[in-house]
Amino acid sequence: MEPMPWRDRVRGEDALLQQLNGLVTDAANRRAEALLEGVADLGTVADVARDLGLSWNAVDKAIKKYERRKADSTTTT
């Protein structure tokens, strides 16, 4: 059996990376939605961060990044 040509391997890996990036984005969106539910439940980003043992900044960044992605997707469709 002949090895796959390098160009085909690169194309295959590019396709896999694109698929994985989509999965990561989907997971980040679901996580941010859960964090927003936590904010609605507990009251503040700081309370959610404390409850999860995360930094306030990490929770805030995740939510803001999600909100930017969401705003970008609504303005382009």
Q: What is the pLDDT of residues 38-57, one digit of tens each?
A: 999 999 999 999 999 999 99
Share of the chain above pLDDT 90, in %: 88
| 29-47 residues labelled b (16+ CB within 10 A) or e (exposed) | beebeebbebbeeeeebee
Is residue 1 very low, low, confident or very high in pLDDT (cuts 50, 70, 90)?
Answer: confident
Is residue 76 very low, low, confident or very high in pLDDT (cuts 50, 70, 90)?
Answer: low
**Signed CA dihedral, 27, 36, 74, 61: sign only:** negative
At residue 77, the pLDDT reads: 56
Looking at per-residue pLDDT, the higher value among 60 and 3 belongs to 60
